[in-house]
């Protein structure tokens, strides 16, 4: 046998062996794929439990002081003392400024001298009227002279009353030279210095006091939501919560709805709403922008699922549901509003059903799954924080 014929036989044997091995490998691969398809998929499920959820709208608002007072002088003069500084906390009645009283004291002394003249004149006129009346009763004087003496007495009494009023006015002016705080609050940056002239007609205040231990948050709410807001406030759905800064950076503050205006801005279609907030730590300052969460509705027996559990491959959102026999199936659902990291399912699911919240992307209809309870794998989630924010709410 020639060497070429031996080479051809060896090549043919190698090809036959390779074909046999390929057939066996393909069969083993098909069997492995079939076995993999029959292997249950491990998923994490959650049992639907009805909850009571309060829906709310998140709005932006601006902080305003509960009371703001501009300190203006009521008498003119040179400021001799400034007893406060910027940012200082003052109490009602505390002295803020002292105005030079030299001129005011001189005016008071002049008024008191005029009062003494009026007292003397009134006493003299009173004695004259008494004599005229006695002479008239004895027909020793005429009726005309008696009436004249009586008119002089009335004029003297009027002058006395005027002099007393002038003295009281000068005393008030002297008291106004000491400027006191009309409210308790904090002094702003606008301050007059010592030596400056206090002028009652000036447009510039000596100082500004603001009470910020309790503040207002002014919001603007779409007119269509005013009725829902009024109803929510009447039914006591809960306080308005105010957030400052980044989410979770500071604790939320509870506020009380004070009023919702009945006048709607024709340009924006919104109406002003005011919320009162206690502010003992002064974390809310006038002029700040904050986020307010305003409750507007209550949902009873709502079903919520994590937003990540929703599949959106088709035209409608789907949720993977695990039956009692361990078979999984996809189900079309109708979604409502977003509640934090969860979403309300308004149609397509029932209380007590188990939904897949992790691993749902690997599940097809009719395949078996190995469900793991979410409570056993992770810490329990807060019950929607009992506060839901509408997906269509105005974001800060």
Q: Is residue 113 part of a domain?
A: yes
CA 88 to CA 191: how far, in whole Å? Answer: 12
Residue 355 shares a structural domain with residue 256: yes
Same-domain pairing of 274 and 383:
yes
Looking at the structure, tell me whether residues 380 and 315 fall in a common domain.
yes
The pLDDT value given to residue 388:
46
Residue 134 sits in a domain whose CATH number is 1.10.287
**Nearest to residue 388, comparing CAs of 339, 351, 326?**
339
The answer to which of 70-84, 162-176, 320-334 has the lowest mean pLDDT is 320-334
Q: Per the domain annotation, does 186 fall within a domain?
A: yes
Q: Domain for residue 36, yes or no?
A: no
Does residue 48 contact residue 350 with C-beta atoms inside 8 Å? yes
Is the same domain home to 192 and 295?
no
Cβ–Cβ < 8 Å for 330, 311 = yes
Is pLDDT at 51 greater than 50 in this prediction? yes
Q: What sign has the CA pseudo-torsion 23, 24, 29, 31? A: positive
**What's residue 235's pLDDT?**
74
pLDDT, tens digit, 9 for 90 and up, residues 248-304: 556 788 888 887 677 788 888 888 888 899 998 888 899 999 988 888 788 888 999
| Alpha-carbon dihedral sign for residues 309, 310, 312, 316 | positive
Asked whether residue 159 carries a pLDDT value surpassing 50, the answer given is yes
Task: Please give the share of the chain, as a percent, with pLDDT higher than 90.
Answer: 32
Q: Over 90: is that where the pLDDT of 20 sits? A: no
Across the beta sheet with 95-99, the strand order is 178-180, 95-99, 77-82, 197-198
For residue 38, being part of any structural domain is answered with no
Q: Which residues contact 381 (CB under 8 A, 6 or more apart)?
A: 342
CATH number of the CATH domain containing 339? 2.40.30.170
Question: Does 171 share its domain with 294?
Answer: no
The last residue of a domain, from among 160, 176, 192: 176
Is 219 found in the same domain as 325? yes
pLDDT of 22 above 50: no
On the question of pLDDT at 379 being above 60, the answer is: no
Q: How confident is the model at residue 216 (pLDDT cuts 50, 70, 90)?
A: very high
Would residue 299 count as lying in a domain?
yes
- Please report whether residue 67 resides in a domain: no
Question: What's the number of domains the chain is made of?
Answer: 3
**235 and 287 in a common domain:** yes
Residue 4 lies in a domain: no
CB 21 within 8 A of CB 347: no
Tell me the pLDDT band of 323, cut-offs 50, 70 and 90.
Answer: confident
Residue 278 and residue 193 share a domain = no
Query: What does the pLDDT read at residue 23?
Result: 43
Do 109 and 153 belong together in one domain? yes
Q: Do 162 and 226 share a domain, yes or no?
A: no
pTM: 0.63
| Residues 115, 224 share a domain | no
CB 174 within 8 A of CB 101: yes
pLDDT 10s digits, 172-212: 999 999 999 999 999 987 788 899 999 999 889 999 999 99
Predicted confidence (pLDDT) per residue in 233-248, tens digit: 777 777 888 887 666 5
Number of H helices, E strands in the chain: 5, 20
Angle between helices 143-176 and 102-137 (to 10 degrees): 160
Whether 307 and 324 map to the same domain: the answer is: yes
pLDDT score for 32: 43
Domain boundaries, position 226: 47-62+212-389
pLDDT, tens digit (0-9, with 9 covering 90-100), for 53-110: 888 888 888 999 999 999 999 999 999 999 999 889 999 999 999 999 999 999 999 9
Whether 241 is in a domain gets the answer yes
Query: pLDDT-derived band of residue 120, with 50, 70 and 90 as boundaries?
Result: very high
């Amino acid at each position: 046998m020639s060497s070429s014929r031996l080479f051809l036989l060896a090549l043919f044997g190698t090809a036959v062996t390779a074909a046999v091995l390929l057939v066996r490998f393909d069969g083993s691969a098909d069997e492995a794929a079939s076995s993999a398809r029959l292997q249950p998929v491990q998923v994490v499920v959650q049992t639907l439990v009805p909850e009571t959820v309060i829906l709310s709208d998140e709005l932006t608002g601006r902080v305003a002081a509960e009371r703001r007072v501009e300190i203006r002088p009521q008498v003119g003069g040179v400021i001799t003392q400034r007893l406060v500084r910027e940012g200082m906390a003052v109490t009602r009645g505390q002295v803020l400024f002292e105005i030079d009283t030299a001129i005011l004291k001189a005016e008071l002394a002049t008024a008191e001298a005029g009062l003494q003249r009026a007292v003397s004149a009134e006493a003299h006129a009173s004695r004259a009227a008494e004599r005229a009346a006695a002479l008239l009763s004895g027909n020793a004087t005429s009726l005309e002279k008696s009436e004249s003496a009586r008119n002089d007495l009335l004029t003297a009494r009027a002058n006395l009353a005027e002099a007393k009023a002038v003295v009281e006015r000068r005393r008030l002016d002297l008291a106004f030279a000491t400027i006191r705080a009309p409210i308790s609050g904090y002094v702003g940056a606008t301050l007059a210095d010592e030596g400056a002239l206090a002028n009652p007609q000036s447009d510039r205040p000596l100082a500004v006091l603001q009470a910020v231990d309790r503040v207002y948050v002014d919001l603007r709410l779409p007119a269509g939501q005013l009725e829902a807001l009024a109803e929510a406030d009447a039914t006591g759905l809960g306080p308005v919560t105010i957030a400052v800064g980044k989410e979770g950076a500071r604790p939320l503050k509870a506020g009380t709805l004070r009023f919702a205006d009945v006048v709607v801005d024709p340009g924006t279609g919104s109406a002003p709403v005011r919320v009162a907030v206690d502010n003992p730590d002064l974390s809310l300052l006038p002029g700040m922008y904050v986020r307010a969460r305003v409750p507007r509705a209550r949902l009873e027996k709502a079903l919520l699922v994590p937003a990540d559990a929703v599949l959106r491959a088709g035209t409608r959102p789907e949720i993977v549901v695990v039956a009692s026999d361990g078979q999984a199936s996809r189900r079309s659902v109708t979604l409502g509003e977003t509640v934090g990291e969860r979403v309300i399912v308004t149609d397509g699911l029932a209380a007590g059903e188990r939904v897949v919240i992790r691993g749902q992307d690997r599940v097809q209809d009719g395949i078996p799954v190995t469900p793991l309870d979410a409570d056993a794998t992770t810490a329990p989630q807060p019950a929607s924080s009992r506060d839901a924010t509408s997906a269509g709410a105005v974001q800060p």
